Structure 1
Amino acid sequence: MMMLNLSAALGLLAFIPITVNASPAITNNCIELLVPVPVKATNIEYDIPRVHDTISAVNWAVNVTTWSNKNYAARIIRNVTISQTFNIHAKLCVPSVATSKSSTIQLLTAGNGFDKRYWDVEVNPSKYNYIDAAISKGYSVLAYDKLGCGKSDKPDGYTMVQVPSEVEILASLTRIVRSGKLLSASEILSNIKSTELLKKFNVRPKKVLQIGHSYGSVLIQALLAKYGDELADGAILTGFLVSSQATANNVAHFDHDYAAESDSSRFGRYGPGYIVLVKATLQKLFFRGTSAGFEKKLLDYTEKIKQPETVGVYGSEGTLSFSPAAGYSGPVMTMAGEFDYPLCNGDCKGAYEANYTMGLFPAGTNNFTFHLVPETGHALTLAKSAAETAQKMLDYLEDNGL
């Protein structure tokens, strides 16, 4: 039995688009925030090649995947204690009309290589925009840029932006949301002049749902394993499954450029250790092997919104033990595309390790479900099946009283 290989899944784009039948009276009220998020985590300094241009980016990928070179454990130099506050950019959306679900917040975590726009698709939003879909069902939504991408802080790409610190950012952000002090703790970037409208955003949630894709789903699983019911009332992990074929691919299969060298106008402010996927790899990673399952304009959109990744995240994948979330008892849905290339080497139908996956959520087995999306690759929100996928997610929440 093979465990999920994070290297195969990192960067995996996906979100969950939609067309939902709902009252047209429910629309979005959205506000942009800069949230100071305090973080305490133990990261690791690794013996890995430095990345400062595209040639060294390729050398790094080859070095860390060559079978005879050092493994994860042998590359550890020392622990690095992280204790500081990072500025995390977020978008909070609430229904224009109060609903029974307004006090339930969906907290959205995108995959590696993308920011919150992964959930907020601008192309044909009635089909692909998950935030719009969730709002149309009456939920409140908070989507954020992970550390090192979008409009969030971009610290050292080797020792600062790693799996442990990203798990703790999600944990700390969730606590701020649960406290009802998100607005008061944040700098409000949007120009909101109406006091009545501002009041709508001041939500103290009764429930918080953790929704992720790919690497974002991996972070949520680690969060549930560490903190259990404290930080989630429900979870949907998309682009996530334990597969017998997960180790067939690694980071060397997916081409990266040095971010600042790749596109100086977009990524010139990113320093050493930041890499970015090339367009051909975006197609390989996020879409199925033929163009039948996606529209070309969505691939172009993916190239437009892609974000740098860090070698620190890839290097720290060994910190993930995929321990069972014994302290979490809520509902869990996991989803993957039938033809997911990075997770299943192109065919998930015979590769899904159901018992192992369910074992990651032992207390919630009675409320666990897995859905394999037909005719779809890794990018669930950018596939032609996006609307049906989103509806499946929202139906699952509804069926579980969330």
Structure 2
Amino acid sequence: MAPLSAFTLLFLTGLAAARVCTNVTIPIDISARQGLFQNVPSEGNLDTGAFVQAFNQRGRNYSQTLLEGFQTVTGSYRISAKFCHPDGGAGSTVQLLSHGIGFDKTYWDLPYNNYNYSYVETAIAQGYSTLAIDRFGIGNSSHGDPINTVQAQAEVEALNAVTTKLRNGEIPGVSSRFNKVIHVGHSFGSVQSVWLSALYPNNTDGLVLTGYSPDGSFLPITLAAWNLHSARLNQPLRLGDQRPAGIFNRFAQYASGPALINGISSVLHVFGITLTSQDTWNEVATTEVGDLIASWNQTVTPYNYSSGYLVTSDLTATQYVFLLAGFYDIGLGVFSEQTKQPVTIGEILTIGNAPATSSFTGPVLVFTGREDVPFCGGDCLAVTGNSAPSIPGETKMQFPNNTGGFEAYIQPNTGHGIAAHYNATAGYMVILNWLGSHGLSA
């Protein structure tokens, strides 16, 4: 049974000890050769559903169907990031953290339960500096046309530009320059880290690929399970551009915790409908009702995403793709709905364009939950047709010249969203100990 308190603010803001963190904005210039696609209707949720239907149609390459040609996207943009280092100094090694679809940079430093699930907190305690970015097009980084600008290739170029600035000491507000940059990704962030290592093998010193395998055959089931909606319609007050101030100020008094549950129960009672508090919680937190009222207490300025930015429909879709039932805090699951971020149509159309192999020779660690759905279909040990001990273990074939060490670690009792599970911190120590044993200690 889900605790009623799971729909409270869930945002404890006590600062973690022994670290110094700064929010920074990084100006970058990128040039990316990428696809020019036909316009895809995406104004309404039925449009987005039709897009996924077409994309998943058996025997059809919808990306190729929509492709009209190629173009070079150039421009100056901004990347929003959070830089953290131990209070004793930044050192010369930094981990560059790239989030996956559905999240932003806070994935790596979740404030929930006093940062108990924070990867940054654990890395800082081991002496590392970290730079967690909002990927290009997402969160507080520059947005763009969601079909023909915010594609995977442009995001990889943005990631490379940030990496170079870290090495050169050109991050605004960060005085250090770093001799070693370790790329740590999750999901789509891992895809982009592999992609960077293929295009710019000398610009990374090590890869940690969480929530990853090279098997893309589970993308259709993932897209279907997300039940994608237009972001601006799914959470109009946070992800869209609709925020009537008067309604907001009135509703904010009742928009969390028992007051919300009791208030809805009272309204239903007027119409002769009596629900238990638990049933009311289920109606609010596990349906799209929760999305309509999400983040009333949190957001001051909407993200104002345009049509073509898509999000998961609700917590039930999020659980199927990201979370293993029984092994994550339901309160953190609700929090993920209140803070979720979108994916663009352009990203979906280009996610499969990454180079098949990389000439990178340095250390590579793949760290994936046993029950990962997007990259393993729900069981990462269900291998067929090759000698790899796991589906993530097949990643070794992407690095044929690897001499710095390779390992694929399968985290038990864990779905795709590794950071949200009860055993997250133990998993973080596996990552950090592995880096230390492969010449990448802080």
1:287 matched to 2:327? The reply is: no
Take 1:243 and 1:318, find their aligned partners in 2: how far apart are those partners?
Answer: 10
1:218 corresponds, among 174, 180, 191, to 191
Q: Deviations over 1:10-55 (max 9, x none)?
A: xxxxxxxxxxxxxxx9711111111111100012122363211212
1:350 matched to 2:382? The reply is: yes
Q: Deviations over 1:236-276 (max 9, x none)?
A: 00001134963672422321111111112111111121111
Q: Are the aligned partners of 1:150 and 1:307 in contact in 2 as well (CA < 8 Å)?
A: yes
Query: Secondary structure of the equivalent of 1:165?
Result: helix
Take 1:172 and 1:358, find their aligned partners in 2: how far apart are those partners?
Answer: 26
2:209 corresponds, among 233, 237, 254, to 237
Take 2:348 and 2:216, find their aligned partners in 1: how far apart are those partners?
Answer: 21
Q: Are the aligned partners of 1:334 and 1:370 in contact in 2 as well (CA < 8 Å)?
A: yes
When residues 318 and 139 of structure 1 are mapped into structure 2, their CA distance, relative to the original with a 3 A threshold, is closer
Query: Secondary structure of the equivalent of 1:223?
Result: helix
Letter in 2 for 1:124: N
1:274 matched to 2:274? The reply is: no
Partner residue, 2:105:
116
When residues 263 and 226 of structure 1 are mapped into structure 2, their CA distance, relative to the original with a 3 A threshold, is same
Letter in 1 for 2:57: T
Structure 1 residue 366: Cα displacement: 5.1
For residues 198-213 of structure 1, the aligned pairs below 5 Å read 201-213=174-186
Partner residue, 1:16:
none
When residues 353 and 276 of structure 1 are mapped into structure 2, their CA distance, relative to the original with a 3 A threshold, is closer
1:84 matched to 2:75? The reply is: yes
For residues 137-156 of structure 1, the aligned pairs below 5 Å read 137-156=126-145
Q: Deviations over 1:94-114 (max 9, x none)?
A: 11013xx72111000000121
Query: Secondary structure of the equivalent of 1:371?
Result: strand
Structure 1 residue 369: Cα displacement: 0.6
- Scaled by the length of structure 1, the TM-score of the pair is 0.84
Q: Deviations over 1:48-86 (max 9, x none)?
A: 632112121111111221225554333310112111011
Query: Secondary structure of the equivalent of 1:307?
Result: coil
Letter in 1 for 2:127: G
Alignment gaps of 5+ in structure 2: 1-15, 241-303, 384-389
Letter in 2 for 1:310: T
Structure 1 residue 385: Cα displacement: 1.0
Report % sequence identity: 30
Q: CA RMSD in A?
A: 1.9
Q: Are the aligned partners of 1:125 and 1:132 in contact in 2 as well (CA < 8 Å)?
A: no
1:387 matched to 2:421? The reply is: no
Q: Are the aligned partners of 1:339 and 1:346 in contact in 2 as well (CA < 8 Å)?
A: yes
Take 1:339 and 1:177, find their aligned partners in 2: how far apart are those partners?
Answer: 35
When residues 247 and 313 of structure 1 are mapped into structure 2, their CA distance, relative to the original with a 3 A threshold, is closer
Take 2:358 and 2:404, find their aligned partners in 1: how far apart are those partners?
Answer: 14
Take 1:170 and 1:342, find their aligned partners in 2: how far apart are those partners?
Answer: 23
Partner residue, 1:3:
none
Structure 1 residue 389: Cα displacement: 0.5
Q: Are the aligned partners of 1:248 and 1:345 in contact in 2 as well (CA < 8 Å)?
A: no
- Scaled by the length of structure 2, the TM-score of the pair is 0.77
Query: Secondary structure of the equivalent of 1:392?
Result: helix
Take 1:360 and 1:55, find their aligned partners in 2: how far apart are those partners?
Answer: 38
Query: Would you say how many aligned residue pairs link Structure 1 and Structure 2?
Result: 355
Structure 1 residue 353: Cα displacement: 4.0
When residues 264 and 130 of structure 1 are mapped into structure 2, their CA distance, relative to the original with a 3 A threshold, is same
Letter in 2 for 1:108: L
1:401 matched to 2:374? The reply is: no
Partner residue, 1:9:
none
Q: Are the aligned partners of 1:211 and 1:237 in contact in 2 as well (CA < 8 Å)?
A: yes
Partner residue, 1:377:
415
Take 1:258 and 1:157, find their aligned partners in 2: how far apart are those partners?
Answer: 12
Take 1:37 and 1:172, find their aligned partners in 2: how far apart are those partners?
Answer: 6
Take 1:245 and 1:164, find their aligned partners in 2: how far apart are those partners?
Answer: 20
Query: Secondary structure of the equivalent of 1:135?
Result: helix
Take 2:394 and 2:378, find their aligned partners in 1: how far apart are those partners?
Answer: 20
Query: Secondary structure of the equivalent of 2:238?
Result: helix
Letter in 1 for 2:320: K
Partner residue, 2:397:
359
Partner residue, 1:135:
124
For residues 1-400 of structure 1, the aligned pairs below 5 Å read 27-47=18-38, 49-67=40-58, 69-98=60-89, 102-183=91-172, 201-228=174-201, 230-243=202-215, 246=218, 249-268=221-240, 269-279=304-314, 280-288=316-324, 290=325, 292-321=326-355, 323-326=356-359, 328-351=360-383, 352-353=390-391, 356-365=394-403, 367-400=405-438
